[in-house]
A and B are shown apart, each in its own frame.
Chain A
Amino acid sequence: MRQRTNWPATILLIAGTVFILFPLYITIVNALKTPQETAQSILALPESFSFDNFLRAIELTNFFDAFGNSFYITFFTVIFTLLSNSMVAYAIARNMHKKAYKFLFYYLVSAMFIPFPIIMLPIVKQMSALNLTNPSGLIILYVVYGLSFNVFLYVGYIKSIPRELEEAAIVDGCSRWGVFWRIIFPLLTPMNATVGILTALWAWNDFMLPLVLLSDKAHHTLPLVQYVFQSQFSVNYNLAFASYLLALLPMLLVYLFLQKWIISGVMKGAIK
């Protein structure tokens, strides 16, 4: 089909990106400026690139500790989620004709409609009684709470995988576990990518669970650190912006390189 470029739409869309990019621009230029330069003009580019703000922000917020915590929590959340949630979904998908498994499926999925605040107060009590108000506790909660949505995604996908493959392997003496790890799990790669991306975005950017759960400052994640230091930032915007930029940078860099994957991963998760 011959179709000419729609220039009005192109131009409007390009103009619209100003709204998206403007907050980032403000953040970047002011992270590089001194308070005096910002006082002269918020919008102007910095006269000389000063990385002082970054150094001070790194020192003040213990950036590398917070980054390490966020990375640790996100990394293990994603690994455990992929390994466990897919397996649960496999068992459910292959037994949906049985009442118990069908019930389990709806039990997990319907929990999506339960707002977190109803759990928030009791779970904090429960976790502190178990000595789990730390990154390990956070990882457990992300993996367990993720079941609701991920099982929903995986079950839909696994149903489309023909059973013949598995039956042949069983006849050859392969166990149910072997079937899952050697045959099904590799076939789940596209859905694993989607679940992995969605889980990573959630665990990395989440603020509410770390806020209520992490008591020790040494365990604080990147968003939580920004919140804790907000009162100290309010007197020095340049320092604040340097800190915000540092906190956003890891995800922005990942996005820059994996943009196509991330968008299609989120899209696939959304259409299900």
Chain B
Amino acid sequence: MLNKIKPNAYLLMVLPALILFFFFHTFPALQGIFYSFTNSRGYGDWDFIGLQNYIHVFQDARARDAYLFTFKFAVVATVLVNVISMILALGLNAKVKFHKTLRGIYFMPNILSVLIVAFIFNYIFSVFIPEIAQNAGIQALSTSILGNPDRAWIGVVIVAVWQAAAFNTILYLAGLATIDQGLYEASSLDGANKWQEFWKITFPLIAPFFTINMVLAMKNFLMVFDHIMGLTGGGPGRATESISLLIYRGGFQGGEFAYQSANAVIYFIVILAVSVFQIRNLQRREVEM
């Protein structure tokens, strides 16, 4: 009897967290979905307008451009980050001198604020490189790439790769550490060269890490925000306006609370779909290898 009255300690441990999480995370998310079916500006009266916001997002050239830019950026940056991280990890995993120092240097970008790093690169792209190019007579680079609507996205990719490669390298290093060295001895006895060794042994064995890296990198890059705030502010024009930036601008400054909520719901579905698609495909390949 007495036991029954005693409150369940486990329940008391999780209940406050559950309530707070619902209140500060789930509830606003549900609100966002709710308002996406209204014409609310974030304040004042509003009415239900059904799917109109969604229809408008699909017809909106600004939204379309933001999705195109974000995907172009995310795909290119994901591929580059994974290739570079894999090479760095293989290098750091080899028997190299100053191993700890090198690892420390290559990991450093991960601890720095993306926004401030982007500000520093902003200066490098818009002042330093043009000045060098002018002195050297290289016409193509004599103006800032950030000022060129067709090339500004490359600047965003460079900063993103510079910063994100650190984390992915560490993940690949962790993967490489799990490989049994005996396998390489056996393969070198069989006369396999380094290239075959990588594709036949190393890569299949770290395939799960490749999957995680691809999924995480893609998901993070689809949410790109800080890089762009520090580099271009979405410009020139709207050439580098990402989806997050569009939702932020439209929602807070443009009075498009409900409209950008609909955009955010679509954005959520897109990110979820991309992640699920990646995980399924990459895991299938893991099994085949």
Contact = CB atoms under 8 A, between A and B. Distances in A.
Contacts of B223: 115-117
Contacts, number: 238
Contacts of A16: 88, 91, 106
A205 B112 contact: yes
A131 interface: no
Interface stretch (B56-64, B72-80, B263-271): B263-271
B221 to A, nearest CB: 12
A126 interface: yes
B110 to A, nearest CB: 7
A201 B9 contact: no
Nearest to A178: B9
B261 A121 contact: yes
Contact of B21 (A1, A147, A237, A241): A147
A257 B260 CA distance: 44
B111 A255 contact: yes
Nearest to B33: A118
Contacts of A91: 9-11, 13-14
A226 B113 CA distance: 11
Contacts of B173: 267
A13 B92 contact: yes
B249 to A, nearest CB: 11
Interface string B181-210: 100000000000000000000000000000
A251 to B, nearest CB: 5
A146 B260 CA distance: 25
- A interface majority secondary structure: helix
Nearest to A20: B105
Contact of A88 (B17, B219, B229, B244): B17
Contact of A117 (B97, B170, B257, B264): B264
Most-contacted residue by chain B among A85, A123, A180, A201 (CB, 10 A): A123
B225 interface: yes
Interface in B94-119: 94-98, 100, 102-117, 119
Contact of A5 (B10, B95, B108): B95
B229 A126 contact: no
Contact of B98 (A14, A90, A270): A14
Interface stretch (B44-52, B124-132, B136-144, B146-154): B124-132
Nearest to B122: A230
Given A10-B98, A13-B96, A266 B167 contact: yes
Interface of A: 1, 3-7, 9-10, 12-14, 16-17, 19-21, 23, 26-27, 42, 84-85, 87-88, 90-92, 94-95, 101, 104, 107-108, 111, 113-126, 140-141, 144-145, 147, 175-177, 180, 201, 204-205, 207-208, 212, 222-223, 226-227, 230, 237, 240-241, 244, 247-248, 251-252, 254-255, 259-260, 262-263, 266-267, 270-271
